[in-house]
A and B are shown apart, each in its own frame.
Chain A
Amino acid sequence: MSQTITQTETISLREAINQALREELERDDDVVIWGEDVGESGHVSNITEGLYDDFGAERVRDAPLAENGFVGAGVGAAATGLRPVVDIMYADFFGVACEQMLNQMTKMHYMFGGQLTVPLVVRASEGAGLSAAAQHSKTTHTFLSHMTGSKVVTPGTPAAAKGLMKSAIRSDDPVFFLENKRTYTMKDEVPTDEDFTVPIGEASVERAGEDVTVVATQAFVGDSLELAEQLEGDVSVEVIDPRSLYPLDHETIAESVKKTGRLVVADESPLSYGTHAEIISRVNETAFYYLDKPPQRVGWPDTPVPSAPTLENEVMPGRDELQRAIERIA
């Protein structure tokens, strides 16, 4: 955390994002929100609840179902002076918006030689566990981190969610903000100070430990903290939430590995060519000789997300897989 925390309150991650949006709408008239059902109805996940009533239809806009069109409009509005927060609802729908993300939002600042900035936040919920099946459950953060030209944040705690959303809105660069569905109800202490932010690109050591470093994202942060308590006495687990996947604060991770000599990366995304691989590669490059055991990956075994709970539970990585990974190398 970058500031001295004076006061906190216990709220859910969903409420933390709502607060961040509200505070930024109040702070800066250039902040606008649009997406499907973000207005009068307050969003399918209630993220924008109350904002339409308080800030009006000009600044909190219901958009037609046209993801590529309204992400592109976000690019154009950002390039001409606004700070839009565009809502994609489910991250799977990035498929519909991909052109404007891949070729405009993330390239304009560079290909125009730095002439204009694109202070655009695109947010979406991602992740499985609700039997929502293949097109409402996928994680996309690895794919987004691979595009180049944008920042990608994946908060694992309510405080990180609030602080990162505020930083994302204030950033002059495009930011993808990914909310894991399983974290929305997670409750924790969040600073009440309106100036509280979390810098994009700083990992957080959520729990100190001596034996194994667990780099956990999104819902795995809560899972890891619970598991660490459970294993205390047998294994001392250090839990790090990278919070931002791009930029990636590998230094904090490498410092931890230098102490523990053991690394587990727990992230819900597909295992091949992924976030896990990037984190482990950077540890290999910067702390290879400190590793006592092979780094372990906990993630999705490369299938689409199935609907039936028996199937989804089979392939969805969770606490059991994480515990096995820790025990393999502890």
Chain B
Amino acid sequence: MIDSPLETEDGRVAALESMVKLRRFEERTSNLFADGEIPGFVHLYIGQEAVAVGATSTLDSNDHITSTHRGHGHCVAMGLDPSRMFAELMAKDDGFCRGKGGSMHIADVNAGMLGANGVVGSGAPIATGAGVTKKLAGDDSVALAFYGEGAVSEGQVHEAITLGAAWDLPVIYLVEKNNYAEGMPAERIFRNTDFEDFGDAYGIPAETVDGMDVVDVYEAVSDAKQRALEGEGPSIVVAETFRYNPHSEGLDMPLPEEELEYWKDRDAIETFKDELIEQGELTAEQFEEIEDRIEAELDEAVERARNGEPPEPEQAYEDVFTEPAPDIEYHRANLGRDQL
């Protein structure tokens, strides 16, 4: 979350900076994964930066988001400490989940980030439930569910929006339409890829925006938030974007070169940077300074994470419940037993 609204020059520069930070974070993640420093599965956000930054720039400290398996971008955009994110990715005790979550489950409840989620579509019902809390509290806050277009076919997303609409909840359902569900192009698995059409079915507003344009995303989500706060219930925002990397790092699932080139020509960071320079809101030198600052911050974050300690093995038994778990202790004791 950035402090200044995108209507201001400060806000626009901050948004650019945030997008650069998302990308540099993911580039490092890619390298660390390739080098074997990150175990497990990793899904990168590179290409979609304008969506996370534009959407979260509308949020306040009492708002909440739910994220996806491709969640690093949402986390950085929400202002999560990159060092603790790298620590979680690198299986260290200083990670946000103390090593229990990894890439697909980074969460920071204090920052309003209700978790990345390894199951496609599962964040939408959870954000809807956060919407109930907000409605009952009457605290002028909203919940925002990020999900990819692959989740649009999930029954639970349909259930969540139906519920959010029936109960007039302050929720924003944000479809990151990156054109591929895992390795499958949207056209292969949907007859209608114009997801904005779904709004009429639910009886709620829906809008398609250029997901490579951070201001466009920001404005649409701002409007959705405004409606939610005025008691008008949920909205759908469809952001058309693209991811530059395969579904998951290490997969041999390259994207078509021509399609990739088309989207890279419209790259969210490059076009917005050029726009700000053209408008005189930023100089090339200032942009270099921003990049240098981010590079230094992220290098230090990686180093701090790398030097951290892994969790102690016995922590595997903790946090299953909020109270002592007698069954777990019982089985654990039996596993360690060396005689009858």
A interface, CB within 8 angstroms of B: 32, 58-59, 61, 63-64, 66-82, 84, 99-100, 103-104, 108-117, 148-149, 151, 171-173, 201, 246-248, 250, 282, 285
What are some 26 contacts across the A-B interface (CB < 8 A)? Answer: A63-B163, A64-B163, A69-B128, A69-B156, A69-B159, A72-B122, A73-B128, A73-B132, A74-B129, A76-B131, A80-B133, A80-B134, A82-B133, A99-B119, A104-B122, A104-B125, A112-B97, A113-B96, A113-B98, A115-B96, A115-B97, A149-B320, A151-B321, A172-B322, A173-B321, A285-B334
Nearest CB of chain B from residue A269's CB, rounded to whole Å: 18
Of residues 105 through 137 on chain B, the ones whose CB sits less than 8 Å from some CB of chain A are 105, 107-109, 114-115, 117-119, 122, 124-137
Residue in A76, A109, A114 whose CB lies within 8 Å of B114: A76
Q: Assess whether A247 is in contact with B325, with CB atoms less than 8 Å apart.
A: yes
> Do A72 and B126 contact each other (CB < 8 Å), given the known contacts A64-B162, A116-B109?
yes
Q: Assess whether B322 is in contact with A117, with CB atoms less than 8 Å apart.
A: yes
Residues of A within 8 A of B235 (CB): none
Output the residue of B100, B126, B319 with the most chain A CB within 10 A: B126
Residues of A within 8 A of B256 (CB): none
Q: Assess whether B322 is in contact with A70, with CB atoms less than 8 Å apart.
A: no
Nearest CB of chain A from residue B118's CB, rounded to whole Å: 7
Q: Assess whether A82 is in contact with B132, with CB atoms less than 8 Å apart.
A: yes
Nearest CB of chain A from residue B311's CB, rounded to whole Å: 9
Alpha-carbon distance A247/B128, docked complex (angstroms): 30
Nearest CB of chain A from residue B334's CB, rounded to whole Å: 6
B interface, CB within 8 angstroms of A: 64, 66, 95-101, 105, 107-109, 114-115, 117-119, 122, 124-137, 143, 155-156, 158-160, 162-163, 166-167, 318-323, 325-327, 330, 334
Q: Assess whether A112 is in contact with B156, with CB atoms less than 8 Å apart.
A: no
Alpha-carbon distance A248/B325, docked complex (angstroms): 10
Nearest CB of chain B from residue A60's CB, rounded to whole Å: 12
Closest residue of chain B to A74, judged by CB?
A: B129
> Do A246 and B327 contact each other (CB < 8 Å), given the known contacts A68-B125, A68-B156, A79-B114?
yes
Nearest CB of chain A from residue B237's CB, rounded to whole Å: 19
Q: Assess whether A111 is in contact with B125, with CB atoms less than 8 Å apart.
A: no
Residue in A68, A108, A113, A201 whose CB lies within 8 Å of B326: A201
Alpha-carbon distance A77/B114, docked complex (angstroms): 11
Q: Assess whether A173 is in contact with B322, with CB atoms less than 8 Å apart.
A: yes
Residue in A73, A117, A250 whose CB lies within 8 Å of B129: A73
Alpha-carbon distance A59/B137, docked complex (angstroms): 12
Nearest CB of chain A from residue B92's CB, rounded to whole Å: 12
Output the residue of B143, B158, B323, B334 with the most chain A CB within 10 A: B323
Q: Assess whether A68 is in contact with B130, with CB atoms less than 8 Å apart.
A: no
Residues of A within 8 A of B167 (CB): 61
Closest residue of chain B to A67, judged by CB?
A: B159
Closest residue of chain B to A151, judged by CB?
A: B321
Alpha-carbon distance A40/B131, docked complex (angstroms): 22
Nearest CB of chain B from residue A292's CB, rounded to whole Å: 19
> Do A109 and B115 contact each other (CB < 8 Å), given the known contacts A68-B159, A69-B125, A75-B125?
no
Nearest CB of chain A from residue B94's CB, rounded to whole Å: 11
Which 8 residue pairs spanning A and B have beta carbons closest together? A72-B125, A76-B129, A69-B159, A66-B159, A73-B129, A76-B126, A113-B97, A114-B319
